[in-house]
Chain A
Amino acid sequence: MIRITCPFCGERDHSEFSYGGDATVAYPALDAPVEDWNAAVYERRNPRGPHKEYWHHLNGCRSWLVVERDTLTHEVGKVEFAHPGLRESVEGGA
């Protein structure tokens, strides 16, 4: 079982979360050329090793998180809120 330490709820089993895929994908401007949209929608680096990815704490606080995880060893590194405002108010506010 992979365990993810949610910055709000603490360490939880990954079965509480829903996987949201590659967190490095950046969507281009609406009028960007089709190649840019193709890259954002369809193309992934899919690395064997460190991967930055979204997880949704669906059966917990329901925040979206950015998790660093190794796709070969499943070791979990840094976890932070995906929403930068939330990151500041929860992590920096206290």
Chain B
Amino acid sequence: MSHYSVWSVLREGLRGQTGWDRAWRDPEPKPEYDVVIIGGGGHGLATAYYLAKNHGITNVAVVEKGWLGGGNTGRNTTIVRSNYALPVSTQFYEHSVQLWENLSHDLNYNVMFSQRGQLGLFHTPAARDGAAKRVNTMNACGIEASLLNRDQVIRMVPHLDYSENARFPIIGAVLQKRAGTARHDAVAWGFARGADQRGVDILQQTEVTGILREGGKAVGVETSRGTIRAKKVGVAVAGSTGHVMAMAGIERLPIESHKLQAFVSEPLKPLLDFVIGYGAPGAHFYISQSDKGGMVFGGDLDFYNSYAQRGNLPIVQDVAECAMAIMPCLGRVKLLRHWAGIMDMSMDGTHIMSKTPVDKLYMNAGWCYGGFKATPASGWHFADLIANDRPDELTAAFSLDRFERGYAIDEKGMGPTPKLH
């Protein structure tokens, strides 16, 4: 498989783009693998990549029912940051940001990671206290972040609503300079290509319909293309986690599936060179501008359990109101598309990366609003968990049994109501 470089681009330019080969193979399933990963989203593909790269485990299949990046990987608003309020979370996401920083080189695939900086606005003195605590936690964990006052925010993004009668008066922001966005499809494709180059089989259009078990141990999967045996099975299916885990007899989990919508406007000239987000009672909104010029934004969930990948109109209105409350200049901009993805909302708002009650079956789920930014670290640590059959230091806290033990990781202090995280 060819290495991408400026030379290969020049060479192909000269010979009419005829020499490119497939970025990954389309193999027939083998009867048995060392590891089968269910789900060919970013997390599943990254897991396969790091199993091969970090652990030398290359007899691996990624089984995907649709096409690569057809799930949340290709549906999200691509915000990458590590400014979380609890040390375990901010450290985990910081590892992810560090991997993002070198990902295009590591994969030899341009994931267009753009560290344009993210501003989390706040609107009340109480929210400023919360923001200050967050900045202090991050700094204590060795992660750069700063607290900005209103004037500093005005200088950086002059066209937000700073007027007297603003619905959400902006009194300051948390700035993480190393945060930003990335090209979502490219992340799936880059990991797929990297995994494939190291020998991983990527099986698209292959739906897992059952998880084989013998003596309390996972030994493979039943698929729409036949039985595939495996020494270990990893599940990374985001919103479908409940459905797939039930195939292994695990009928109840601390997860609910909800849908989240995203929106993109018609392309505009450069308007916004930061990622902006804010949350206040009754409002939740985040926005950035894509390289093509579209304003990419989103807000809250549709707020009821759903496996339908389509959104509902009341939230369209809600998100439009949030947009107007902060960036009134968007009022005349036309919406180009909107869509929804199924999100695995956990009971404490934090992901679960864990062994399960079934031996040799591992789960990676519960990513809520934030799993895209986690993609590289999720793959890195999930591969480590599968390879070594034990969680490493950074992921032990994210175990499935943390709820029963009383160690929920509730970033927002919302309690066990998935839709509120």
Write the residues of chain A forming the contact surface with B, with a CB cutoff of 8 angstroms.
1-2, 13-15, 19, 21-22, 34-35, 38-39, 41-48, 51, 53, 69, 71-74
Contact = CB atoms under 8 A, between A and B. Distances in A.
A1 B314 contact: yes
Given A71-B306, A71-B307, A74-B306, A42 B312 contact: no
B394 interface: no
Nearest to A37: B404
B242 A47 contact: yes
Given A1-B312, A13-B314, A48-B240, 14 more contacts: A19-B304, A19-B419, A41-B347, A44-B252, A44-B256, A45-B251, A45-B252, A46-B253, A46-B255, A46-B256, A47-B243, A51-B305, A53-B305, A73-B308
Nearest to B417: A21
Contacts of B418: 44
Contacts of B314: 1, 13-15
B20 interface: no
B101 to A, nearest CB: 35
Main secondary structure of the interface of B (DSSP, over half): mixed
Contacts of A42: 254, 347, 403-404, 416
A1 B256 CA distance: 21
B289 interface: no
A43 B252 contact: yes
Given A38-B403, A38-B404, A72-B308, A48 B257 contact: yes
B257 A46 contact: yes
Contacts, number: 74
B14 interface: no
Contacts of A2: 304, 312
6 contacts: A15-B314, A41-B403, A42-B254, A44-B253, A71-B307, A74-B308
B204 to A, nearest CB: 21
A71 B314 CA distance: 18
Nearest to B243: A48
Contacts of A71: 257, 305-308
Nearest to B344: A46
Interface in B252-282: 252-257
A57 to B, nearest CB: 14
B140 interface: no
A41 B257 contact: no
B4 interface: no
A44 B312 contact: no
Nearest to B408: A42
Nearest to A73: B308
Contacts of B251: 45
Given A35-B404, A45-B242, A72 B304 contact: no
B313 interface: yes
A21 B304 CA distance: 7
Nearest to A49: B307
A44 B254 contact: yes
A42 B416 CA distance: 6
A48 B308 CA distance: 9
Nearest to A16: B314
Contacts of B304: 2, 14, 19, 53, 69
Contacts of A38: 403-404
A47 B252 CA distance: 9
B67 interface: no
A41 to B, nearest CB: 5
Interface in B379-418: 403-404, 416-418
Contacts of A22: 256, 305
B243 to A, nearest CB: 5
B312 A46 contact: no
Contact of A44 (B255, B306, B307): B255
A37 B419 CA distance: 20
Nearest to A35: B404
Contacts of A21: 256, 305, 417, 419
B335 to A, nearest CB: 18
Contacts of B243: 47-48
A59 to B, nearest CB: 12
